[in-house]
Structure 1
Amino acid sequence: MKLALLGYGRMGKEIEKIALERGHEIVIKTSGDDTYQITDADVAIDFSIPTAAFGNISNCIEHNVPVVSGTTGWLDEYDDVIQLCETKKGAFIYASNFSLGVNIFFELNRQLAKMMKLQNQYDISIEEIHHTKKLDAPSGTAITLAEGIIGNTDKSGWELDRKSSDEIIPIKAIRTPEVPGTHTIQYDSEVDSIEIKHTAHNRKGFALGAVIAAEWLKDKQGVFTMRDVLNIG
């Protein structure tokens, strides 16, 4: 498979390594304003920056190149991408985190939220820890976790650095050098606490998941998620 890497930072380089190990060819590597012919690729993987993501994704869809995006911080334009994908009959996957383990963790989070919905004695909170080069806070992964709880409980939203309330899930974002990503969900009451946690040991899991998603998306049409890729739910 011929891959385009849109964003050739630390994640792009890790994705390149995994893709080559799995027998794929990298035909485009771009960062910033590099010119490239996207139709040279079978699938594109976007791990760029928030200001570039929408343009990268739209360009792929316009030229009928399936695109996988793991860039966060651009989702105000997500609905526009979905509409474009439907109009152009394109193929698109967005995930806040492509790690296979994290996506299983997302499902555990949803199921635990369903079980805890009627247990009003518990305060819910989320903590995420990332490396200091992480541009957005909270992380897209933390937001996805919050949305999984909101969709299955009476919570109505989340806020950064706020105390827990009946309606709001507080998210605490910590930045520490050389931490790939740690996410913790805690249900805390006067008598006990329940906690689920995912800890990434390195960036390889994120890269592997992105390449697997690209392999799965090739020759498909529509808007998908990692739940489709992993056949979860």
Structure 2
Amino acid sequence: MKIALLGYGRMGKSIEAIAVDRSHSIVLKVTDETSNYDFSDADVAIDFSIPSVATTNIKKALDAGVPVISGTTGWLEHYNDIIDYCKAKDGTFLYASNFSLGVNLFFELNKKLSELMSGFSEYTTEMEEIHHTQKLDAPSGTAITLAEQIIKSTNYKTWTLNDAKPNEIQIDAKRIEGVPGTHEVTYNSKIDSISIKHTAHSRQGFAMGAVIAAEWIKDKKGIFSMKDVLNIG
């Protein structure tokens, strides 16, 4: 499989190493400064760029008829626009806030726990996410996904990084050097606390998941998620 890398930072380099190890080739490397490039040799594009260029990169790949896997966060106010654009182009697109197998299992645990806790108003919900200092957006896309899952099952209306009101989920976003990613959801009452937590030990899980998603989506058409790739939930 021939892969175009949209974004060539730490994640892009990790994806490259895993892809080459799995006998794929990298035919295009797009950095944040790259302006002119084409996808003529690519079977699939993997986007781990930055929010300011993500939508441009994705649309260029869709224009070329190349399936796109995107893990860039911080641009999701344009997500519906990209979905409409992909459909108009009869293209292929998969976005995930996190490509790790463990995190996607964690999403399923979070959904189930939020459903179980929805009937117990004596518990309040809060979240903590920790990432490396190079991560530009806060909270993480993974934290937002977790919060949105909880909101669907409970009386919470939104999430916040500030002091939470009764109908808001408090997210404490921390940036610490060398931390690949940690997410914890806690339900607190006066008598006890219940927590679930996922801790990434390296970027390898994210990169491997992205390559597996690219392998899976290569000859498909439509809008997909990691649940489709992993056949879970």
TM category, shorter: over 0.9
Letter of the structure 1 residue corresponding to residue 81 of structure 2: D
Q: Note the residue ranges of structure 1 that are not aligned, 5 or more in a row.
A: none
Letter of the structure 2 residue corresponding to residue 52 of structure 1: V
Alignment partner of 1:163: what SS? coil
Structure 1 partner of 2:109: 108
Question: Distance between the aligned counterparts of 2:229 and 2:155, measured in 1?
Answer: 29
What is the 5 A alignment of 1:31-110?
31-34=31-34, 35-110=36-111
Structure 1 partner of 2:171: 171
Q: CA deviation at 1:232?
A: 1.2
Give identity over the alignment, percent: 60
* Greater CA drift, 148-157 or 9-18: 148-157
Give a deviation string over 1:101-145, Cα, whole Å, max 9, x none: 101101110110001110111010010001111101111111011
Where does structure 1 differ by over 3 angstroms across 4 or more consecutive aligned residues?
A: none
Question: Distance between the aligned counterparts of 2:217 and 2:192, measured in 1?
Answer: 43
Question: Distance between the aligned counterparts of 1:164 and 1:123, measured in 2?
Answer: 11
The RMSD of aligned alpha carbons is: 0.9
TM-score by length of structure 1 reads 0.97
Alignment partner of 1:151: what SS? helix
- For the Cα contact (< 8 Å) 1:124–1:164, is it kept in 2? no
Structure 1 partner of 2:2: 2
Structure 1 partner of 2:118: 117
Question: Distance between the aligned counterparts of 2:104 and 2:80, measured in 1?
Answer: 22
- What count of residue pairs does the alignment treat as equivalent? 232
Q: CA deviation at 1:161?
A: 2.9
Question: Distance between the aligned counterparts of 2:133 and 2:184, measured in 1?
Answer: 18
TM-score by length of structure 2 reads 0.97
Question: Distance between the aligned counterparts of 2:186 and 2:87, measured in 1?
Answer: 38
Alignment partner of 1:40: what SS? coil
1:223 partnered with 2:206:
no
Structure 1 partner of 2:129: 128
Letter of the structure 2 residue corresponding to residue 13 of structure 1: K
Q: CA deviation at 1:164?
A: 5.5
Structure 2 partner of 1:143: 144
Letter of the structure 1 residue corresponding to residue 30 of structure 2: T
Q: Note the residue ranges of structure 2 that are not aligned, 5 or more in a row.
A: none
